[in-house]
Amino acid sequence: MTYLNPQQKQQTETALTFLAEAQKLRAEAESLRIALDEEKAAKKQREIAKIDAWINDLLVNRTIDSRTEMLNNVEQVFDRLIDGRYNQEQINKVFKRMCDTAKQPQSRSNCSPLMTTFVDAVGRVDSLEREENPNRRWNGRVERVLRRKLFLNDYFQPEEEEDDDSDSNLMTRN
């Protein structure tokens, strides 16, 4: 049996106190990490719901029942883009969401009618003169970027989640 002098006993008690405190802090950090992960997932779900609402606003004219919808044509989508004052970031998010949810990969040679309608309407907004477009944030190069992405999808499979900044940089380049 080992006897501890009072100084050693004090050091041992202090070490045990620090150990207990460290375990509490680890547990608290883990619970904060879990809460942060849950918040990130909820934020992502809210963003997806918002983008889906934009898609419905732009492309769906009327819902007949749960499986049947009347879709907008290019002219109607063009009008919705103007009236809703959609910006390049929103257009890019809608495009990405449409590509992500499509049953088949979207590309220039294999493009869904919805995607074609959307990109054609964006092209019509691009062709508006600056004075005629009430949306002053529109830079007139959005269609070109979307068509470039579709073209690239013909030859390259999109990588896993690329940097979101790279998509926005494409929208602002001259």
- Residues 126-138 have pLDDT tens digits of 888 777 777 777 7
Written as one letter, the residue type at 71 is L
- Residues 74-108 have pLDDT tens digits of 999 999 998 888 888 999 999 999 988 888 888 88
Nearest to 78 by CA among 96, 59, 95: 59
Enumerate the β-bridge partners of residue 60: 71
- Residues 62-72 have pLDDT tens digits of 778 877 778 88
Residue range 13-19: mean pLDDT, rounded? 91
Q: Which residues contact 72 (CB under 8 A, 6 or more apart)?
A: 58, 59, 60, 61, 80, 117
The count of residues in the chain is 174
pLDDT for 157? 62
CA–CA separation, 116 and 96 (whole Å): 14
